[in-house]
Amino acid sequence: MVRVTREDRLARFGVGWLGHLLAVHGAALDVLHPKKLGGRDELLEDVVSLVTTFAGRLYGMRSAENRHRLLA
């Protein structure tokens, strides 16, 4: 028995294939908290995550440049 809290903890994609492979070898896959989002909602969540990450990096670089100018 292979237990994971969420499918994406096991693999980003191909979880169905991995479940089939485990079943062939006599093991089972148990997802404790299955994701209830649809394809569109999941894609939207991923895009928001990417935008948040890149915005944080951009503003971090700007603040580093401003600190460098102040100290120079």
What are the pLDDT digits (tens) for 20-64? Answer: 999 999 999 999 988 776 778 878 888 998 998 888 887 777 777
Query: Which pLDDT does position 37 carry in this prediction?
Result: 65
What is the model's pLDDT at position 27?
Answer: 94
Do 29 and 49 sit in the same domain of this protein? no
The boundaries of the domain holding residue 47 are: 38-72
26 dihedral zone (left: phi>0; alpha: psi -120 to 50; beta): left
3 with 21, same domain?
Answer: yes
Give the single-character DSSP code of 27: -
Kindly state whether residues 19 and 50 are assigned to the same domain.
no
- Shared-domain flag, residues 22 and 1: yes
pTM of the complete model: 0.47
How far, in Å, CA of 16 to CA of 35, rounded? 14
pLDDT band at residue 68 under the 50/70/90 scheme:
confident
